[in-house]
Amino acid sequence: MNLLKISWSNIKHKPLNTLLSIVLLSFGIGIISMMLLLKTQISEKFDRNIKDIDFVLAAKGSPLQSMLANIYHVDVPTGNIKVSEARRIIKNPMVAEAIPLAYGDNYEKFRIVGTNEKYPNHYGCTLADGKLFSAPFEVTIGADVARETGLKLGGTFTSVHGYDNAAEDADAHHHQVFTVVGIFARSNSVIDNLILTPVETTWMVHEHPEEPIADSLSSDTTHAEPEREMTAYLIKKRNKGAFGMLSKQTEDTTMQLANVAVENSRLMNNFGLGLSTITAIAVVIMVISFISIFISLFNSMRERRYELALMRTMGGTRATLFTLIIQEGLLLVALGYVIGLLLSRAGLLVLSHFMKESFHYGLDNLAVSAQELALLGLTLLVGLLASAIPAWQALKIDISKTLTNA
């Protein structure tokens, strides 16, 4: 007697009931699975991009926006700050390192960021080809930029004013030519999606003819050039009390100091709240699906009392009947789980496409996680419980009475 074959035949006997149970369970599992993968991957990417950055010095505005714009590059900056004012902060003994960022242009929606060698070094970037930018209008591009745009070593392009969108207005296009002198190897950091160039390049692209370029970065002396501006500085602190001391120095200026740990915690709490809400809805759907499975198995058992009684007369034991019903329940939940995983991957690929279009952030890890394996165990356990009562009722069938009244 092939119990697995019999169980599968019983499941197919009522296709509409089976379909309803599996659809509900698949959607519940699919949503939970996608939320688990989404939270894990985004958290990993965010943590990797923070990488020991303690503060963001930028123009006054939303501290969270400042962090999103200057660390993750998924928002617009709060404005620019004067280099002469920023120098008072970045030269403070409590600052271990300050990484300059100056930007405002893009090429095919990839941001062109003026900085120095500290920025790629901070993320441990290595070169796949060429060299690191050194002269104005030399650029070293991230791995994703090279892949998406097709730019090669020695390739040239012109920039478009703006942070993400390729403007159609001719006035937004600059005429200075950038030359690719290097391509970074993949670092799985924000650098993969950026075009890096010296800070002077950004100034030269946006300067007026009457404005001379001066070295505002390398000298500690005071310069009479308040027009030189930076988008932000990424700051590493030297000791724990740095934030209070440094932020006090920004009180009477146009600058603010965003505490990365605080803002990132706020971001992840808001993000986690949204995921928790969606996950709670998915759990409700799963509970409904388990109730549906229970009702389906219970009704099926009652309708098949005669068949079950015949199985007993033909040599089937109570354990055989119990196993048969349990097996049907486990087959249903296992099928729902597999379909749910497939749905979650499909949803993740669609979401990844939109995220790449909007933020250049992809979700590329589709492997089954440890949390999903735990979800499988929980699903099978609840499926077992849902089928236990119908299976127990099958054990109590009165064979002679059932066959007599058939």
pLDDT in tens, 201-239: 999 887 754 444 444 444 444 444 446 899 999 999 998
Per the structure block, which two tokens stand in for 374?
């735990």
Please report, to the nearest 10 degrees, the dihedral formed by the alpha carbons of residues 8, 12, 17, 20 taken in order: 80
The residue among 312 and 97 whose pLDDT is bigger is: 97
Residue 168 has pLDDT above 60, yes or no: no
Alpha carbon 95 to its chain centroid, in Å, reads 31
- Give the mean pLDDT of 82-100: 93
Rg (CA), the chain: 31
d(C-alpha 167, C-alpha 257), whole Å:
31
- Its pTM stands at 0.74
pLDDT attached to residue 281: 83
Q: What is the pLDDT of residues 361-382, one digit of tens each?
A: 677 777 888 888 988 998 888 8
Residue 171 has pLDDT above 70, yes or no: no
Residue 139 has pLDDT above 80, yes or no: yes
d(C-alpha 320, C-alpha 341), whole Å:
31
Residue 111 has pLDDT above 80, yes or no: yes
Q: Which of 145, 127, 217, 144 is nearest to 181 (CA)?
A: 127
Q: Are 114 and 101 in contact (CB under 8 A)?
A: yes
